[in-house]
Structure 1
Amino acid sequence: MILDTTIFTFASSTDLVLEIPIITQNQADLNNQAFSNASSRYQAYINELCLGAILLWLQEDWTPQTKVWPTTTALPSFWELVNGIALTLDTTRLVLVPSEAIDLSELRVPQEWVDIPSWVGDYYLAVQVEPDEGYVRIWGYCSHEKLKTQGSYDVSDRTYSLDATDIINDISVLAMARQLCPEEPTRSPIAEIPSLSPQQAENLIARLGNPEILTPRQEIPFQLWGGLIQHGGWRQNLYQRRLGLPEQWSVLQWLQSRVSQVAEAVGWGSFDLQLSAAGARGEDTQPSTILSRRLAIAGQIYELLIIPQGEPDATIWRFELRNAAIGAAIPGGFKLRLLTGDLQPFPNNEDVAATAVEQLCVEVALEAGESIVWEIEPFPDDYNWEILKF
């Protein structure tokens, strides 16, 4: 709900003041334990209050298709490590930068949201959060291009800052700019961040996974830090390590016991498939455990299956994509692709539907300890890289 700014003596007439929904306040209180230290817990609390108010406003007043990037379930792995929230509105990305600060003389944005190519936003919104009063206040915004070219970089806390006099105070101007000048450049060119090797990533996760390190983002050079957390799977692993959680993405453990809670939360499950051929002959049937994940792609529901070929500890694994609707096909142009843990392709790693097909499948031989990342094009809703360990 938009509040009347005239009742706030501090607010400018151009400020947008939004009420924090009661359900968001209650949910933020419940979710506040999934972090390794008090600082991260409070950072997550402020971010969730900010998100609850602004996402609802954008969906109601701008476009119902406004979504969290990359996924809602991935947010704790961000808030454990860095302040900020990204939202997508069609092809535009907004980065919300919440703060409790009373001093609104500048907008300060963590370097991750400015210099990691896959994180970069088109616009950055300065948001003051008042938890006790139950509202958030959007007091200005700027483009990535302006923040990068006119902002100041502070090496001590790895942030970019822009004076309040250099940002646009009226958020309604942004709505008009998107309508009238949709092709106007918003992003400044930035350099790619080199990828890390799996061994480098594991070493950094082991080091930075110590929850006694309160600000891991400042412990190593930014190029290493950015290379680590730009990979969704490694960022999730670091977050889980800092919480002291056991391994969550071991496919062998899923088959031997059950799918982990973290994996279940994003849609993974398992079921036993009786070998029908043996049953037809009256022989004893042996259940074969299959892992499955439901995915929403372009308005339809699909299933990604992982099927061990042979014994549960087999080295051959079949990844299979099917339409969840009985008799429905996979449209032409769809791709199922497997990559190594550090996102590298390998021979015969993808299957492409030239026309409508019943299924897409890729089989891969894996040694113990190897990892796989799956991709599907078009990307599923709420897609985020997962490192599956075998």
Structure 2
Amino acid sequence: MWVYIVIAAVIVVLAVALAAYYVPRRRGREVEPPSPRPGVDYQPGVGDDATAPTQQPRRSVQDVGLPEPGDATATAPPAGQTAPEAPAPETAEPAPSIERPEPAAGRLVRLRSRLARSQSSLGKGLLSLLSRERLDDDTWEEIEDTLLAADLGVTPTGELVERLRTRVRVEGVADADAARALVREELISLVDPSLDRELRTERHVEDARPSVVLVVGVNGTGKTTTVGKLARVLVAEDRDVLLGAADTFRAAAVDQLTTWGDRVGVPTVRGPEGGDPASVAFDAVKAGIDQEVDSVVIDTAGRLQTKVGLMDELGKVKRVVEKHGPVDEVLLVLDATTGQNGMAQARVFSEVVDVTGIVLTKLDGTAKGGIVVAVQRELGVPVKLVGLGEGPDDLAPFDVEAFVDGILG
């Protein structure tokens, strides 16, 4: 009996001792609070795994309303976000309108008043001098100076003054009208109406080949613009035209020529920037043959007449084009404001490519209309076209009588 009592007491003592040993150790430990949960206790950041709040009530599929078609709220963005811009509806680009140039016939007559304003020093100066009561040697010297100042050239000026002196001495000059009639007759004779000024731009029927027009000139004369305006002249005459952009050294010239062609529905053959201009010219003529056009007009790079290498390259362009057949026209574009300085240009170009006609640009901006006579005398080829303004249809076929009437006013 006492044995059991002793055993129980020992067990109780051991239990109390164990309790006294473990309880203080557990109380001495620091209890760490639970870690905050991203998405529940704070907004999640970069690197956090967002946990959906378990306290937030969830909605079933049946509780979610679907937007109706055409509902403006269907594309509403979430709170705090900006709605993306709706794409603009696609609209078909309008087809470029094709312009119809005005007829070339009569353009110089229409622009006669503009020409008269720029040539007043020549026409009015001559008429006022010849209308004097007494025509002495000093007056004739003034007449000669007026003609030289108009870039008529020394030889043509001497011829004109001599003829005027002879006719005044024989026929006399009664009044200003008689003086004007006298000067008009002599100027028309000097400009030479007998020269063939027709542009050869008709298609060759015998071999089904288009006419080829090669346009040359120095930089700054308005050559590319002249080619574009010439295309308008031909379109106004109901010709099918194709342009060749052989000025491969200037991308701007190629784009400019293409724009001129697009305005009147004329295609342009172009090559890579810096490519071989002779190759582009050759391809343009070939395309003209394949498309059965009437005329192919080729724009060449502007070049100084003193650059031998560039002039040789121009000769190469012409020779390559002639593999398809003869070139019908070689038009030299000259700036009328350069006066006698253009004569050196004209001589060199004529030697290299056999110029067949002259295009005088900016004739409305100079009082030196005598350049028409001078350049014809120098080259032995006629002025065929004149530029009298900045408008797209201000290139006109040259007409001798209209030109002289414009000078005299």
Larger radius of gyration, structure 1 or 2? 2
More helix per residue? 2
Question: Same fold, TM exceeding 0.5?
Answer: no
Tell me the TM-score range normalised by the shorter chain. under 0.3
Q: Between the two structures, name the one with larger relative contact order (CA 8 Å, sep ≥ 6).
A: 2
